[in-house]
Structure 1
Amino acid sequence: MSTKDCPPTRDIIVWAKVPDVPAGAQELGNYNAATCESTFKWLEQTSPKEAGDCLEAAWASDNPGYNVDAEPAARLKKVQVAIGPSC
């Protein structure tokens, strides 16, 4: 499958908090270019789900001005996916 068959590209911000580490964030695309798998789906399948873990993902466009380099990272607005028992 080529990238021309994938959905339009939108940026996603992923916020994560694990025990004893400041919350962090990063910006990702909304799908895997090789497989066209949704980043939201991939996060649901691969994120840690232990006590104290929380991962949230939201559209970057719903979080204008968000600073992914801030430590600790701020929580997201309009979260699309929340994974982990501490969310």
Structure 2
Amino acid sequence: MPANAQALGNYSQVDCSTTFQWLQRTSPTEAGECTEAAWASDNPGYNVDAVPAARLKKVQMAVGPAC
């Protein structure tokens, strides 16, 4: 499956945790998985609709062994 991207808000509506905290708790950790997140302001011009998605710059958090 090609890498994909999403633009997310600052907080999880489920439990009011920050998006980074929520991603750290809920992202897959199996072999081959990688979830990265960064501030949009640190990645100007990033195209979330590109397939495959480009790697983020200034990553704030990463989960998974393939990161």
Q: TM-score range by the shorter chain?
A: over 0.9
The secondary structure found in structure 2 opposite 1:28 is coil
Distance 2:14 2:52 in 1: 32
Pick the structure with more strand per residue: 1
Please tell me whether residue 41 in structure 1 is matched to residue 21 in structure 2: yes
Larger radius of gyration: 1
Distance 2:55 2:12 in 1: 24
Give 5+ residue unaligned stretches, structure 1. 1-20
After TM superposition, which residue ranges in structure 1, 4 or more long, deviate above 6 angstroms? none
For these two proteins, the number of residue pairs brought into alignment is: 67
Distance 1:85 1:57 in 2: 15
TM-score where L is the length of structure 2: 0.94
TM-score where L is the length of structure 1: 0.73
Higher relative contact order (CA 8 A, sep 6+): 2
* Cα displacement string for residues 3-51 of structure 1 (whole angstroms, at most 9, x for unaligned residues): xxxxxxxxxxxxxxxxxx0000000001124642111000000000000
Give 5+ residue unaligned stretches, structure 2. none
